[in-house]
Structure 1
Amino acid sequence: MTSSRLARFPRQRVAPLAAAVRRAFPLIALPLASLAVNAYADGSPTAAGAATGTSTNTSTASGTAAAAKEGALPTIAVNASATALPGDLSPAYAGGQVATGAQVGVLGKQKIIDLPFSMTSYTSRLIEDQQAHTLADVVANDPAVRSAYGFGNFSENYIIRGFEVDANDVALNGLYGVTPRQLVDTGALERVDIFKGANAFENGAAPGGTGIGGNINLETKTADDKPLTRVTVEGSASGQLGTHIDVGRRFGDNDQFGIRVNQTVEGGSTSIQDEDRSTQQTALSLDYRGSKLRLYGDFIYQKQHVTDGRPVVYDTSSIIPPLPSASYNYGQSWSYSDMEDTIGMVRAEYDFAPNWTVYASGGVRHTDEHGDYASPTYGPDGATTSYRMGVPYKEDAQSAEVGVRGQLWTGPVSHAINLAALVNRIQADAAYDLGSSFSTSLYNTVQVPRPATYFTSGDFAAPGIVSSTLMRSVALSDTLGFFDNRFLFTVGVRHQNILENGYAYGTGVQDSSYNESATTPVFGAVYKILPNLSVYANRSESLTEGGTAPSDALNAGAVLAPYRAKQIEAGIKYDATNYGAALAVYEIKQPVAYTDATTMIYATDGTQRHRGVELSAYGEPIKGLRVLGGVSYIDAQLQNTDGGTYNGNRPIGVPAWTFNANLEYDLPQVPGVTLMARAIYTGKQYLDEANTLPLASWTRFDLGARYKTQVFRHDTTLRLMVTNVANRAYWSSALGGYLTEGAPRTAWFSVSTDF
């Protein structure tokens, strides 16, 4: 973790409360789960209506149209819910890997075929069957998404349509800022929604300033209509062991109360030499489902520990470093990272009138991080050096949203109205120290003693404030439906204010300030050629904080307006119930600022332009055969660069081609046995803007199998998943201007039993 990345986020003084919750949380959650199990040992839920996931105020479009013609205000089909209920989750395609709908920010729950945007929602079933442990394992299934390590640490960052999504800019149940920082365990996740494209209207600008080409929203597990008690024991060939307990119950006269508890404990040696990782996550979800009122509470405690983690590699030479072996570790044994997150969220929605719902949600997160980091720098003639950086880091975030959704008619035209206000506040306290530089190697790494501190900034015992961010926005949209909603036209606008203050390490004296506003519109259209075939188009924007002129510019200290990336997109979607497919073409233009070498004025003069085509397919086109994958092509260029030096070159870390193919096949000869094979391809990318340092393309092959049976009358599933079967060594990403090496061959096995 470097100092430039430390000073990005703010903190409120809630650490004492977070510490109390952290200590008490596992003691509260597991007894509650036990009580729920005992209460339902001899019973079963009876909420048949909830199981259908059908709203009580829903009517057909044809009935609505008929009522409108008679001059009466009809009963309109509305889903104004702020979050998806467990029984109201969008159904998955056959095979259960991808859902037919998702949560789309301020637009709420939507069927994907009705959206004028590109989106994919991955399910908890895919997570379980692939034994996906972190978010990167899940998004590896998407041809438009890749992942890499963060800057100088072990966090996961993601790349959507060639643009970075920082791990801290992933949303949780629709809110930014409350997701576990840097690494997300998958034990509590019900859905992973990936929105592809500019998204400032739908979700607001991400606090970390990324998400230009898309964003990721995580939906947590809540109690389903069917009782669940599932125990999973797993292990890896390298020595990791873990358990996962998932308990869910509904109770009350109409099953209106729900509880879901997920507990994950995992640790041991990874497939990278000498690297150890451990994870602990406890997640508690409580909910109430009334006829008009719905309430939710989510509480998550997560702790991650990495010892002797393999770091990223910086390169100041004129060549790409030769690859070490796939499992070789060029890190130092004293390097480590401790990351601890305590999260609480509450959500509520109330149907105050037919077809109209008001909703509110709020969440807080406290993060406590400590670590010693050392990433090698590969220099001229192969000389490699590194240095130690120690970090205590604390971050507190609050996020809240309030809004109203509903539907009305004006003559034959339907209107789906959305109005929402959103606020995010994040504050960071940090300090750091530096140890002296030392020589090292990527191929014959000598373990050196932990370098002594030669420079310290800030108080390690009580880190001081280094940054604070406040983001506020208001959004309004109307989706107009014509011809019995066969043609849908969405128009919306979000006005957003970004306020960020920076403070000097150690002294806490404010040394920078940013306070700017911007308005981002959106236009989208969907036309259903057939009920299961639609074409769409959109014009949308993304928003990030503008730059501040550096000290060597003539306009030093000048603050630029927020950068507005503009996108146009068109596509076609097909939904055949058992399977689906989508094709999208798009162009995204992201402004780039620099100090002109001639005028010495810092301004937004450059452009990073991405033109792309995406094709994806998912579901079960043939009984027993499931497909998941697709292909993405991006023509990415730098334009209007300083002096034209890099005009026409590709941006750093953006491959032209990415390809995924995932096949599952149920063996008819052996009922219950499923075989899986996956190929992931990433084309050539560059480590520098001059395009003189190319990373070779790479292909990874994964294999898996599972067997579903009964053991002592209990449903039991045995799973095996092997990634990078060939144990190929490859530089997986150049995102950020540094190298991330792909993981070596890793074999996981597990046994899950439902009681």
Structure 2
Amino acid sequence: MSTPNFAVSAIALAVLQMTSGAVRAEETNAPEQPLQEVVVTAAKTRASTASVAGFTNAPLLETPASVSVLTSQQMLDLQIRSVTDAAKFDASLSDAYNAVGYAEQFSIRGFKLDNASSYRKDGTAITGDTQIPLENKERIEVLKGLSGLQAGVSAPGGIINFVTKRPTDTPLRSVVLETRERGTLYGAVDLGGRFEDTRFGYRINAAAERLRSYIKGADGNRKFVSAAFDWQLSPQALLQIDGDYQRKSQITAPGFQLLNNATLPKVDADTMLNDQPWSRPVETTSSNVGVRFAYQFSPEWNATISANQHQFKRDDYTAFPYGCGDQDLYPGFCGNGDYDVYNYISKGEKKSPLTAQALLQGRFATAGIKHEFTGGASFFKNSEKWGDYLYDLSGVSNIYHPVVVAPAPGDSGPVSERRRDNERALFAQDIVSRNQQLKLHAGARYVQVKRDEYVGKDDKGVTVLPYAHTDIGFWLPNVALVYNLRPNVSTYVSYAQGLEHGGVAPIGTVNQHRALDPSKSKQVEVGVKADIRQDLSATVALFQIRKGLEYTDANQVYVRNGEAQNRGLEVALNGRATRELTVGVSATALNTQQHDTGSTDFDGKRVTDVAAFKSSVYADYAVPQVEGLKVGANWQYSGKKAFDAANTVFVPSYHVVNLSASYATRIGDVGTTFRAGIDNAFDKFYWRDVTPDLGGYLMPGATRTFRISAQFDL
């Protein structure tokens, strides 16, 4: 396995010295940039705006949706290096087959996100099939609930939008170095500013990471680089270009199945099942190239055109555990811990989503009624390619006493296009008001969804005709009423419809790899938001979501049958409670049920992998007696979860406590911040992920982990 050159830290410091004289930014000479709203978050403990719930940055207080935002400064303060780290602070997010070393996958409000459409970069679709880098992200915005108007095709749980960092008006030179228990090493550099011609700005980010997981042997490395440039063509015109590239290589850690398909296994959290001598890392590369042009016609009207090309490639090698041949259990491990080992190889998997969007936005008044109008069109296409994978039995091992087995011979087949998506949409929204107290949000999106699926190529290498074809149009309305009880308190009620691609039948089903038809979902939500003071906010949201239920039936066919209904309550409190105390509280209560499946085993039962109650509480205290010193703690709780659709097995609830401290000072002319933390301070064993995917797997949470870092701001 290759290891990244961790001299990135020394290189970064050298770059800082070399660029400090060649590139400068003079705030007093910088031209006015009316098109790009800059949100300064470093001096605040919470974000006050987000773009994920609409088509422009808007105050969270006035947004009729449940939205959470994590800023880049919060990511630094909390030592967040991945979305998995970030999800700990939002109770509405949960793991959903989030295997170490594979793809970070999540659910929101109990619904698993779609890797093809639920993850966004500046509002454009990117794949969620690998770890999404955070080094060049200014904010992580989470829209909870249906997003048909905003995104078109996406899972009903919501979307996660990653807002990229833009050039700074003043010089930025920052380096972060970190080490974690077991040998993880991390280094990152963040450079920003303007050239001598201050119409041109730049932002450069780079990182390298040596990964040493809490699971024995799930090691790897990651490298990342990005660049973003702004060009103020005129006072009215702004051109923005950005690109990034990431390469990650890590041995993945599969989960555990039930013993006898009935009992939770008792294992150590660091147990590795993909531990054969022939186990190889999963190799992934991903990249983005984005462009955005904005023009301000007048103070009231502007237009924006944007596009992003995402590329993803993966080579997957795994000694994969599944089933117990001796007891004819599929899925399920043997009662004594034996499990079948398969040599799984899938090379050359590729996805290339392209998104383009045009927006026209303006404000006007008619007959004393004010309008905030948005109209636009969007285009999305994606080609997915893969070859026939190798998935052959190699032998039998044991979760308590590992056995070396010889790999089954063979390799994956030739890569060809297997799925093609093409979506075109028109959308409009009008925010109507007669005064600032009451506003009506009315919008709709029409989306034409085309999908073709292919068997592959024939013996002559010619792609065969699609064996599954979809070409359907959908209207997706979204209506909300916002009423301001006071200038700092708003209430809202909303109705929305969403659309998602049908789930793809998993490996081992009769119709494996086949995607079900698109389906609509419906949501009703009411909420209250309050800015208690300038830097402290509270939100409450009550919602109901209904969607078609997808699962593998008794005949091992992946079907959509019946309905999943999730009713829930979300509560959040974020910001500065006192001068010294910063808090973050997130709690979600969910009532999930399955209906109309035609089976008494499923009807009325809880949806799998969803806790009835989940919470996260964070507190950070600035010690007044020691300038620059802060101490913090985070408590996470998750209620029990159903493992199977029939609710015969439940995974117990758990508590996890994380501790942290930081000290900010100056060393010479360099602003320096030291941070330290202990994750899972009491070394609690718990099942963090209980996924129904691939027949059902359990994944343990991380054991106690120490981490320290240093940030240098030149």
User: Is 1:588 paired with 2:536?
Assistant: no
Match of 1:325 among 253, 258, 268: 268
Match of 1:259 among 174, 179, 202: 202
**Aligned twin of 1:448:** 405
Note closer, same or farther for the CA distance 1:549–1:371 as it changes in structure 2 (3 Å cut): closer
Measured after TM superposition, the shift of residue 312 of structure 1 is 2.2
User: Is 1:225 paired with 2:207?
Assistant: no
Contact map agreement 1:332 1:448 (CA 8 A) in 2:
no
Match of 1:500 among 432, 435, 451: 451
Measured after TM superposition, the shift of residue 372 of structure 1 is 0.6
Match of 1:525 among 471, 476, 481: 481
User: Is 1:696 paired with 2:648?
Assistant: no
Measured after TM superposition, the shift of residue 734 of structure 1 is 1.6
Measured after TM superposition, the shift of residue 727 of structure 1 is 2.1
**Aligned twin of 1:478:** 430
**Aligned twin of 1:293:** 237
**Aligned twin of 2:344:** 389
> What does residue range 229-308 of structure 1 map to in structure 2 within 5 Å?
229-252=173-196, 255-289=198-232, 290-307=234-251
Give 1:391's aligned amino acid.
S
Measured after TM superposition, the shift of residue 478 of structure 1 is 0.5
Q: Hey, what's the Cα distance between the residues in 2 that align with 1:203 and 1:711?
A: 47
**Aligned twin of 1:439:** 396
1:338-381, Cα deviation, whole Å (9 max, x unpaired): 00112111011111233111111111122221121233234242
Contact map agreement 2:101 2:250 (CA 8 A) in 1:
no
Match of 2:526 among 555, 565, 570: 570
Mean alpha-carbon deviation: is it higher for 659-668 or for 223-232?
223-232
**Aligned twin of 2:8:** none
Q: Hey, what's the Cα distance between the residues in 1 that align with 2:407 and 2:554?
A: 42
Give 1:143's aligned amino acid.
A
Measured after TM superposition, the shift of residue 95 of structure 1 is 4.5
Match of 1:45 among 11, 20, 27: 27
Structure 2: where are the runs of 5+ without partners? 1-11, 323-331, 507-513
User: Is 1:213 paired with 2:157?
Assistant: yes
Note closer, same or farther for the CA distance 1:150–1:458 as it changes in structure 2 (3 Å cut): farther
**Aligned twin of 1:155:** 103
Q: Hey, what's the Cα distance between the residues in 1 that align with 2:439 and 2:31?
A: 29
Give 2:346's aligned amino acid.
V
Note closer, same or farther for the CA distance 1:312–1:168 as it changes in structure 2 (3 Å cut): farther
1:378-408, Cα deviation, whole Å (9 max, x unpaired): 4242432221210111222211111111111
Q: Hey, what's the Cα distance between the residues in 1 that align with 2:541 and 2:657?
A: 26
Q: Secondary structure at the match of 2:577?
A: strand
Contact map agreement 2:309 2:355 (CA 8 A) in 1:
yes
TM-score (norm 2): 0.88
Give 1:352's aligned amino acid.
F
Q: Hey, what's the Cα distance between the residues in 1 that align with 2:569 and 2:140?
A: 22
Measured after TM superposition, the shift of residue 613 of structure 1 is 0.5
> What does residue range 122-137 of structure 1 map to in structure 2 within 5 Å?
122-137=70-85
> What does residue range 552-567 of structure 1 map to in structure 2 within 5 Å?
562-567=518-523
Q: Hey, what's the Cα distance between the residues in 2 that align with 1:316 and 1:349?
A: 58
**Aligned twin of 2:284:** 339
1:416-469, Cα deviation, whole Å (9 max, x unpaired): 11111111111122122223242122233234343322xx5522xxx1111111
1:98-122, Cα deviation, whole Å (9 max, x unpaired): 3111013553111110011110111
Contact map agreement 1:93 1:100 (CA 8 A) in 2:
no
Match of 1:640 among 592, 596, 614: 596
Measured after TM superposition, the shift of residue 268 of structure 1 is 4.0
Note closer, same or farther for the CA distance 1:547–1:141 as it changes in structure 2 (3 Å cut): closer
**Aligned twin of 2:318:** 373
Note closer, same or farther for the CA distance 1:526–1:592 as it changes in structure 2 (3 Å cut): same
Give 2:122's aligned amino acid.
G
Note closer, same or farther for the CA distance 1:605–1:155 as it changes in structure 2 (3 Å cut): closer
Match of 1:99 among 47, 54, 57: 47
Give 1:330's aligned amino acid.
L
Note closer, same or farther for the CA distance 1:559–1:614 as it changes in structure 2 (3 Å cut): closer
**Aligned twin of 1:187:** 135
Aligned pair count reads: 675
1:614-664, Cα deviation, whole Å (9 max, x unpaired): 110000010110001221100111011124432210011111000100000
Note closer, same or farther for the CA distance 1:281–1:221 as it changes in structure 2 (3 Å cut): same
Measured after TM superposition, the shift of residue 546 of structure 1 is 4.8
Contact map agreement 1:153 1:312 (CA 8 A) in 2:
no
Contact map agreement 2:91 2:614 (CA 8 A) in 1:
yes
Measured after TM superposition, the shift of residue 154 of structure 1 is 1.4
Give 2:66's aligned amino acid.
S
**Aligned twin of 1:680:** 636
Note closer, same or farther for the CA distance 1:390–1:457 as it changes in structure 2 (3 Å cut): closer
Q: Secondary structure at the match of 2:76?
A: helix
**Aligned twin of 1:352:** 297
Q: Hey, what's the Cα distance between the residues in 2 that align with 1:299 and 1:322?
A: 45
Mean alpha-carbon deviation: is it higher for 298-307 or for 643-652?
643-652
TM-score (norm 1): 0.84
Contact map agreement 1:525 1:538 (CA 8 A) in 2:
yes
Mean alpha-carbon deviation: is it higher for 288-297 or for 213-222?
288-297
**Aligned twin of 2:359:** 403
Contact map agreement 2:217 2:275 (CA 8 A) in 1:
no
Note closer, same or farther for the CA distance 1:31–1:258 as it changes in structure 2 (3 Å cut): farther
Q: RMSD across aligned C-alpha pairs, in angstroms? A: 3.0
**Aligned twin of 1:660:** 616
Contact map agreement 1:105 1:203 (CA 8 A) in 2:
no
Q: Hey, what's the Cα distance between the residues in 2 that align with 1:595 and 1:263?
A: 43
Contact map agreement 1:662 1:678 (CA 8 A) in 2:
yes
**Aligned twin of 2:689:** 733
Contact map agreement 1:152 1:373 (CA 8 A) in 2:
no
Identity %: 25
**Aligned twin of 2:328:** none
Contact map agreement 2:99 2:254 (CA 8 A) in 1:
no
Measured after TM superposition, the shift of residue 327 of structure 1 is 2.2
Measured after TM superposition, the shift of residue 35 of structure 1 is 7.4
Q: Hey, what's the Cα distance between the residues in 2 that align with 1:281 and 1:738?
A: 31
Measured after TM superposition, the shift of residue 271 of structure 1 is 2.5
Q: Secondary structure at the match of 1:514?
A: strand
Contact map agreement 1:323 1:729 (CA 8 A) in 2:
no
Measured after TM superposition, the shift of residue 252 of structure 1 is 4.9
Contact map agreement 2:52 2:123 (CA 8 A) in 1:
no
Q: Secondary structure at the match of 1:273?
A: coil
Give 2:285's aligned amino acid.
E
Q: Hey, what's the Cα distance between the residues in 1 that align with 2:482 and 2:19?
A: 45
Q: Hey, what's the Cα distance between the residues in 1 that align with 2:221 and 2:101?
A: 16
Note closer, same or farther for the CA distance 1:710–1:567 as it changes in structure 2 (3 Å cut): same
**Aligned twin of 1:612:** 568
Q: Hey, what's the Cα distance between the residues in 2 that align with 1:506 and 1:545?
A: 24
Note closer, same or farther for the CA distance 1:568–1:449 as it changes in structure 2 (3 Å cut): same
**Aligned twin of 1:489:** 440
**Aligned twin of 1:579:** 536
Q: Which has the higher helix share?
A: 1
